[in-house]
Protein backbone atom coordinates (compact mmCIF):
# COMPACT_ATOMS: atom_id res chain seq x y z
CA UNK A 1 0.00 0.00 0.00
CA UNK A 2 1.03 3.57 -0.63
CA UNK A 3 0.17 7.01 0.69
CA UNK A 4 -1.65 9.46 -1.58
CA UNK A 5 -2.58 13.11 -1.19
CA UNK A 6 -5.62 14.67 -2.87
CA UNK A 7 -4.45 17.98 -4.34
CA UNK A 8 -7.08 20.57 -5.21
CA UNK A 9 -5.97 23.96 -6.57
CA UNK A 10 -2.39 23.22 -5.45
CA UNK A 11 -3.35 22.50 -1.82
CA UNK A 12 -3.50 19.09 -0.13
CA UNK A 13 -7.14 18.54 0.83
CA UNK A 14 -6.99 14.95 2.10
CA UNK A 15 -4.78 11.89 2.42
CA UNK A 16 -5.33 8.17 2.03
CA UNK A 17 -3.44 4.88 2.21
CA UNK A 18 -4.46 2.59 -0.63
CA UNK A 19 -3.43 0.50 -3.60
CA UNK A 20 -2.93 2.24 -6.96
CA UNK A 21 -5.90 0.49 -8.59
CA UNK A 22 -8.18 1.70 -5.80
CA UNK A 23 -6.96 5.30 -6.21
CA UNK A 24 -7.67 5.18 -9.94
CA UNK A 25 -11.34 4.38 -9.31
CA UNK A 26 -11.91 6.21 -5.99
CA UNK A 27 -14.05 9.35 -6.01
CA UNK A 28 -14.27 11.17 -2.68
CA UNK A 29 -16.22 14.07 -4.13
CA UNK A 30 -13.31 16.47 -3.79
CA UNK A 31 -12.11 17.85 -7.13
CA UNK A 32 -8.42 17.43 -7.80
CA UNK A 33 -5.88 14.74 -8.40
CA UNK A 34 -4.34 12.02 -6.24
CA UNK A 35 -0.54 12.28 -5.97
CA UNK A 36 1.62 9.66 -4.29
CA UNK A 37 3.61 10.77 -1.24
CA UNK A 38 6.17 8.99 0.92
CA UNK A 39 5.60 8.77 4.67
CA UNK A 40 9.37 8.29 5.15
CA UNK A 41 10.53 11.29 3.09
CA UNK A 42 11.50 14.49 4.90
CA UNK A 43 13.46 17.34 3.42
CA UNK A 44 14.19 15.41 0.25
CA UNK A 45 15.74 12.48 2.14
CA UNK A 46 14.17 9.04 2.47
CA UNK A 47 14.57 7.50 5.94
CA UNK A 48 14.29 3.93 7.11
CA UNK A 49 10.81 3.43 8.58
CA UNK A 50 10.35 4.79 12.12
CA UNK A 51 13.95 6.07 12.35
CA UNK A 52 16.09 9.09 11.62
CA UNK A 53 18.51 6.92 9.63
CA UNK A 54 18.71 7.76 5.92
CA UNK A 55 17.87 4.83 3.63
CA UNK A 56 20.63 3.36 1.51
CA UNK A 57 18.30 3.63 -1.50
CA UNK A 58 17.53 7.34 -1.93
CA UNK A 59 15.52 6.64 -5.08
CA UNK A 60 12.64 6.07 -2.64
CA UNK A 61 12.65 9.78 -1.69
CA UNK A 62 9.42 11.13 -3.12
CA UNK A 63 8.34 14.75 -3.60
CA UNK A 64 10.65 16.21 -0.93
CA UNK A 65 8.22 15.84 2.01
CA UNK A 66 5.33 13.73 3.17
CA UNK A 67 2.15 15.59 2.24
CA UNK A 68 0.04 16.98 5.05
CA UNK A 69 -3.38 18.54 4.81
CA UNK A 70 -2.86 22.22 4.01
CA UNK A 71 0.53 21.64 2.35
CA UNK A 72 1.14 23.09 -1.10
CA UNK A 73 1.97 20.85 -4.03
CA UNK A 74 4.42 22.63 -6.33
CA UNK A 75 4.26 20.84 -9.68
CA UNK A 76 7.34 22.65 -11.00
CA UNK A 77 9.46 21.31 -8.14
CA UNK A 78 7.36 18.13 -7.89
CA UNK A 79 7.36 18.74 -4.14
CA UNK A 80 5.04 19.01 -1.17
CA UNK A 81 5.77 22.16 0.84
CA UNK A 82 4.43 22.74 4.37
CA UNK A 83 2.64 25.99 5.21
CA UNK A 84 4.99 28.90 5.85
CA UNK A 85 5.26 29.26 9.64
CA UNK A 86 6.41 32.91 9.73
CA UNK A 87 6.64 35.72 7.17
CA UNK A 88 10.40 36.07 7.67
CA UNK A 89 11.24 32.41 6.99
CA UNK A 90 12.72 31.40 3.64
CA UNK A 91 12.15 28.29 1.57
CA UNK A 92 15.15 25.98 1.29
CA UNK A 93 15.07 25.00 -2.39
CA UNK A 94 16.82 21.67 -1.75
CA UNK A 95 14.61 20.40 1.08
CA UNK A 96 11.45 22.42 0.34
CA UNK A 97 11.26 23.19 4.06
CA UNK A 98 11.05 26.63 5.64
CA UNK A 99 14.09 27.96 7.50
CA UNK A 100 14.44 30.84 9.91
CA UNK A 101 16.63 33.77 8.86
CA UNK A 102 18.73 33.12 11.98
CA UNK A 103 19.83 29.56 12.80
CA UNK A 104 18.41 28.10 16.00
CA UNK A 105 21.06 27.68 18.74
CA UNK A 106 22.23 24.09 19.08
CA UNK A 107 23.07 24.07 22.79
CA UNK A 108 20.59 21.48 24.06
CA UNK A 109 18.11 24.10 25.26
CA UNK A 110 14.62 24.62 23.85
CA UNK A 111 13.82 27.75 21.87
CA UNK A 112 10.82 29.39 20.27
CA UNK A 113 10.91 31.76 17.29
CA UNK A 114 10.03 35.40 18.01
CA UNK A 115 8.80 36.89 14.73
CA UNK A 116 8.67 40.48 16.03
CA UNK A 117 12.33 40.46 17.09
CA UNK A 118 13.44 37.97 14.40
CA UNK A 119 15.32 35.86 16.91
CA UNK A 120 15.17 32.66 18.92
CA UNK A 121 14.03 33.00 22.54
CA UNK A 122 14.84 30.36 25.13
CA UNK A 123 11.87 28.75 26.83
CA UNK A 124 11.50 29.79 30.47
CA UNK A 125 11.79 27.31 33.31
CA UNK A 126 8.48 25.53 33.65
CA UNK A 127 7.92 24.75 37.33
CA UNK A 128 4.42 23.33 37.53
CA UNK A 129 1.04 23.91 35.98
CA UNK A 130 -2.17 23.90 37.97
CA UNK A 131 -5.42 23.58 36.07
CA UNK A 132 -8.55 24.81 37.80
pLDDT tens-digit series, residues 67-89:
999 999 999 999 999 999 999 99
Domain with 104, as residue range(s), is: 2-122
Is 19 a domain residue? yes
129 assigned to some structural domain: no
Residues listed for the chain: 132
pTM, whole model, 2 decimals? 0.85
- What phi and psi values does residue 117 have, to the nearest 5 degrees? -95, -5
Instruction: With respect to residue 55, please indicate whether it lies within any of the assigned structural domains.
Output: yes
Which of 100, 105, 107, 101 lies closest to 121, judged by CA? 105
In a domain, 130, yes or no: no
Per-residue pLDDT tens over the stretch 104-124: 999 999 999 999 999 999 987
Closest CA to 43 of 56, 62, 16: 62
Closest to 17 measured CA to CA, from 42, 26, 96: 26
pLDDT(127) > 50 = no
What spatial distance separates the first Cα and last Cα of the chain, rounded to whole Å?
A: 46
The number of domains in the chain is 1
Write down the pLDDT at residue 28. Answer: 81
Within a domain: 131: no
20 inside domain = yes
Amino acid sequence: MSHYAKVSNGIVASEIVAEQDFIESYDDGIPGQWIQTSYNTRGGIHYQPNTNIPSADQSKALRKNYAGIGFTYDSTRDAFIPPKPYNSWLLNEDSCLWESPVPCPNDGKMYNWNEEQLCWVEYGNIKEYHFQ
